[in-house]
Structure 1
Amino acid sequence: MTTAHKGPGGLTAAWARYIAGFEPAAVPAGVRARALQMIQDGSGALLAAADPRVPTGRLVTGLVRELGGSPQATVVGQGFRTGAVDAALANGTMGYACDVEPHHPEGILHPIAVMVPTALAAGELAGASGARFVAAVVLGCELEYRLSMALGPVEQYNLGFHPSAVCGCFGATAAASFLLGLDEEQTVAALGLAGCQASGLMAWESDPTENARPFQMGMAARNGLTAALLARRGFGGPRAIFDEGHTVFRAFSRNPRPGFLVDELGTRFDGIMELAIKPYSSVSFLHPGLDGLLGIAREHRLAIGDVAAIEMRFATSGAHCVDGNPLKSHCAQYILPVALTVEGLRVLDLFHDRRESDAEVARLSRAVTVVHDDELDRLFPERYETVITVTTKDGRRLETRNGVARGYPEQPLEEAEIDAKFATLCGAVASPGRVAALRDAILGLEQAPDLARYAGLMGARPDSEASGGRMS
């Protein structure tokens, strides 16, 4: 994208005009098809977090159940409805809990984890059609991505901000404003109120419970919906949040590129088209390395007991996030050894430590080194270039380099693989019949007059005949 700038006040007005005038028919068919695929994948991630064995989902849904509220919107996998804002909080938190949701590599974002919960809550509140729900997800993902690129995703990390949370709040505001039918003036206010609430610190990296990390997606969904609901009632907000005074750019970036907000707006949909589907339950930074490691293991027929040490070279800008992180989902020293086990890496491995029960995992975890590589920084975040070197117990050194993981647009998963992942994730709480019905409901969203069928299948309590499946 180029970086052509608008005049003072122009960026906020341009976004408000675009959101208020957005129409599902303006979204190309290929973009809508990609969105349905991402909604399917994100819905599986949501249901996986409804498994009672996942503490994050259990705790956040327990809170909103206790608080109570008007039955406006679905809480995923719990068999009850509550106020739309609290539903967005709970579902947004669950959307990122298991670290298996679609992600945007270049933007370093998890927009589906925010947009599906926001659009579900706002869509149920507004009585929206399935087509408008899908369009809202596209809109929110696109504007979240544009803001992250305008602020600079690495820049946000370097300042200690979580791009998915900060930018996700604006994407959620856009999705909710569209579904609730805000006009341009109301949308200007909603965007300003999003700016007042935009937040999310990388401090979650020090929380080994894995609760604070997904909570920030819940915050973004809740805050974006709140901004739109208040603006719809006439509540005022800053009128030039992207343009004048204490702007988003001034708060969250030292080197912004504001033109990313509007360049080719309405003709490009990179926010949804460039999303990647995760084949592994872990931070996306580790996925090229996981592909490389498992490729070496297959080629040379290595088991975990054959491996003496693993070295992973990664861009300095991202290596700090995976080097010895107390969060198992973000810890190379944990994820790489677990992936080599017979069972492989499973969702629930993020919530109980296999180093405590598997001596081989514990041994190899102490022999994993992450090298912070300044040379690889030149390619980051456009590519998550990773060099994996495996030293075997018999003295061999086996090396591979990869920057594009399976599941990226350049190396997409087969439809059968996507469906198998969906069935496994949903299988933690849903029977095979319910899983099949949910997939059909998602693929039929554009013809659905409302969200009742999708919401009903997502919101039902765990089935007694669920398989308890776990993605590996």
Structure 2
Amino acid sequence: MNISEQVASFIVNTEMEKISPEAVSMAKNAILDCVGVTVAGSADETGRIITGLVKDLGGQPAAGVIGGGFWTSPPLAALANGTMAHALDYDDVNHTMTGHPSVPLVPAVFALGEDLKSSGEMITLAYIIGFEVETKVGAGVNINHYQKGWHATATLGTLGAAAAASKLLGLDVVKTRMALGIAASAAAGIRQNFGTMTKPYHAGQAAKNGVLAAMLAQRGFTADANILEAPLGFCNLFTENGSYNLDKITAHLGDPLDILKPGVVIKQYPSCAGTHRALDGMLALVKEYGIEGKEVEKVQIKTISLIPKILIHTRPRTGLEGKFSMQYCMSAAILDKKVGLQSFTDPMVNRSEIQELVKKVDMITYTQAEEGEIGGLREDLPEIVTVKLKSGKELKKEVKNPKGSPQDPLSKEQLMDKFIDCVNLVLPSRRGEQAAEFINKLEKLSNISELMKILV
């Protein structure tokens, strides 16, 4: 059995009785978090633009647009909800994928599941399967895939969304392989667009294309059956000089599930995950020493070599660029003593005192010898935040795991606080509480439409 067939067989043959209660619990936490940031994203300009377009496009009213107050076709709903889910860059992260696992998946399974009247148990199962496919393919192609410039949330997320949608539709192995083949040709997203509205569009596009791929395959649409391992297939074309490992895709497929190991990072800041360890460190120093901006001579962040390639905006001028700027995030932490949703607006980024402070922030990286063969993915190397004051005093903080990581997870209360803060931006508080109640018992829900009525 070849790689693509093994992956398709895993999708088709995995049932809920094979999924541990721990995996179900983690999936529900991730889905809750994703729904919350989607609702908040609907109020963002990115969300308003994509929602307005989708509404104008029409479509058979079968799937709800979260926060939009209308229904459309499943692919278009997936596009809108996926874009809104990633609009604030407040959504979860998985290190195997080197991306955001939930934003292609939740919009896909909610949109198609609502049309199919799927149970919450099927939604949960499809989500876990999609998560496993996008992350295990990620294990096979990363880190080269990401370093080459591909946005893994978009590329791997399209495969994950197709896998989840195929499960919801009950496709057999042959048609599931077709869905993966179609999805592979639709997978795209380039990292140069980080810090623009197109980055969240990548997630919406992945969700939409995954749904479309499965729907086409259900109708008999064809694609190459061996799309992962073929010479001109996904793994070879999306990496450089054959730097992929097919065995890593299937060696641990389903055991352990990636949603449990390495797990999910649930963000506590609405910025690129590459800023979070440094933010934890800087905010700790600010709290401990009462640092003021006028006291700062220089800030230095020592980090892994991948981070400067992600945080490409050293002199940001927009809120979106600020999310991908170590310089801005450190400056905001010093001046505002906190970093939250209100931090990433154009006026906040363009404050004169911020623009002066960003010039004093620099990144240095570990050497190639320190990082070893796996380079920029050395998660055991701590991030070191150093603040040199004009008085000559030097303050330092090392952070290995950010708050929200599997090693230092958010408590259920903290997760709920984040969810309620997000949904209260758009929905009446009682509806937010009702949505949380439904998601917390998702596997018991008879029809996902019950939840969507609250969210739309």
| C-alpha displacement of 1:11 | 0.8
Alpha-carbon distance in 2 for matches of 1:57, 1:266: 34
| 8 Å CA contact retained: 2:132, 2:253 | no
Amino acid at match of 2:439: I
Which of 322, 343, 360 does residue 367 from structure 1 map onto?
Answer: 360
CA–CA distance in structure 1, aligned partners of residues 434 and 149 of structure 2: 42
Q: What corresponds to 1:6 in structure 2?
A: none
Q: Which amino acid aligns with 1:363?
A: E
2:441 pairs with one of 437, 440, 444: 444
Alignment of 1:118-197 (within 5 A): 118-152=108-142, 154-197=143-186
| Distance in structure 2 (CA, Å) of the matches to 1:452 and 1:324 | 41
What is the percent sequence identity of the aligned residues? 28
Matches within 5 A, 1:213-362: 213-254=199-240, 255-271=243-259, 273=261, 274-325=263-314, 326=316, 327-342=321-336, 344-356=338-350, 358-362=351-355
Deviation at 1:101, TM superposition (A): 0.6
Other-structure match for 1:3: none
How far did residue 434 of structure 1 move? 1.4
Q: In the aligned structure 1, how far is the partner of 2:437 from the partner of 2:382?
A: 37
Which runs of 5 or more residues in structure 2 are unaligned?
none
| One-letter amino acid matched to 1:307 | V
Q: Secondary structure at the match of 2:176?
A: helix
Task: Identify unmatched segments of 5+ residues in structure 1.
Answer: 1-8, 460-472
**Greater mean alpha carbon deviation, residues 227-236 or residues 363-372:** 363-372
Deviation digits for residues 53-78 of structure 1, max 9, x if unmatched?
A: x1110111111001001001111101
Aligned partner of residue 412 in structure 1, secondary structure: coil
Contact 1:407 1:413 in 2 (8 A): yes
Indicate which of 20, 33, 37 corresponds to 1:41.
Answer: 33
One-letter amino acid of the counterpart of residue 387, structure 1: I
Question: 1:111 Cα deviation (Å)?
Answer: 0.9
In 2, are the aligned partners of 1:48 and 1:428 still within 8 Å (CA)? yes
| SS at 1:380 equivalent | helix
Q: Is the 8 A contact 2:305 2:376 kept in 1?
A: no
Q: For the residues of structure 2 that align with 1:385 and 1:92, how far apart are their CA atoms? A: 32
Deviation per CA, 1:309-335: give whole Å up to 9, x if none: 211122222212225354211111111
1:65–1:82 contact (8 Å) kept in structure 2: yes
- Aligned to 1:81, the other structure's residue is in SS state strand
Counterpart CA distance in 1 for 2:214 and 2:190 is 23
Say whether the 8 Å CA contact 1:143–1:271 is kept in structure 2: no
Letter in 2 for 1:261: I
1:127, 1:450 within 8 Å by CA — same for their partners in 2? Answer: yes
Moved more, 38-47 or 392-401: 392-401
Q: Report the CA distance between 1:296 and its aligned residue.
A: 1.1
CA contact (8 A) 2:304 2:378 kept: no
Further displaced range: 394-403 or 55-64: 394-403
Separation in 2 of the partners of 1:150 and 1:129? 32
TM-score (norm 2): 0.93
1:272 to partner: Cα distance = 5.2
Q: CA deviation at 1:119?
A: 0.6
CA distance in 2, matches of 1:355, 1:55: 16
Alpha-carbon spacing, 1:367–1:170, altered in 2? closer, same or farther (3 Å): same
Does the CA contact (< 8 Å) of 2:36 and 2:422 recur in 1?
A: yes
8 A Cα contact 1:189 1:239, kept in partner: yes
For 1:80, the equivalent position in structure 2 comes to: 70
Deviates more, 1:58-67 or 1:100-109: 100-109
Q: Secondary structure at the match of 2:323?
A: helix
SS of 1:370's equivalent in the other structure is: strand
Instruction: Report if the CA contact (8 A) 2:27-2:259 is conserved.
Output: no
- Residues 108 and 232 from structure 1, CA distance in 2 versus in 1: closer, same or farther, beyond 3 angstroms? same
Aligned residues of 2:283 and 2:334 also touching (Cα < 8 A): yes
Of the candidates 90, 108, 122, which is equivalent to residue 80 of structure 2?
Answer: 90
CA shift at 1:427, angstroms? 1.4
User: Quick check: 224-233 or 412-421, which moved more?
Assistant: 412-421
Structure 1 runs of 4+ off > 4 angstroms? none
Name the CA shift for 1:40/1:168 in 2 (closer, same or farther; >3 Å). Answer: same
TM-superposed deviation, 1:259: 1.2
- The aligned amino acid for 1:202 is R
Structure 1 position 431 matched with structure 2 position 428: yes
Aligned length in residues = 444
1:211 corresponds in structure 2 to: 197
Are the equivalent residues in 1 in contact too, given 2:117–2:449 (CA < 8 A)? no
Partner amino acid for 2:154? A
- The Cα offsets for residues 448-470 of structure 1, whole Å up to 9 and x where unpaired, read as 101122111221xxxxxxxxxxx
Residue identity in the other structure for 1:25: E
Report deviation, 1:190.
0.6
Deviates more, 1:237-246 or 1:213-222: 237-246
CA-CA distance at 1:236 after TM superposition:
0.6
Cα distance in structure 2, aligned partners of 1:155 and 1:244: 18
Contact 2:97/2:156 (8 A) holds in 1: no
Give 1:348 deviation, angstroms: 4.1
Shift, 1:394, TM fit: 2.2
Contact 1:309/1:392 (CA < 8 Å) preserved in 2? yes
Decide whether aligned partners of structure 1 residues 55 and 272 sit closer, same or farther in structure 2, where only a CA change above 3 A counts.
farther
CA RMSD, Structure 1 to Structure 2 (Å): 1.7
Answer whether contact 2:6 2:250 (CA < 8 A) is retained: yes
Within 1, Cα distance between the matches of 2:248 and 2:254? Answer: 12
Alpha-carbon distance in structure 2 between the residues aligned to 1:236 and 1:76: 32
Report the alpha carbon displacement of residue 435 of structure 1 after superposing the two structures with TM.
1.5
Q: Deviations over 1:228-255 (max 9, x none)?
A: 0000001111111123331111101131
Alpha-carbon distance between aligned partners in 1 of 2:230 and 2:437, rounded to the nearest angstrom: 47
Are 1:380 and 2:376 matched, yes or no?
Answer: yes
CA distance in 1, matches of 2:311, 2:25: 33
CA distance in 1, matches of 2:429, 2:292: 32
Q: Output the CA distance in 1 between the equivalents of 2:352 and 2:347.
A: 12
d(CA) in 1 for partners of 2:21, 2:349: 47
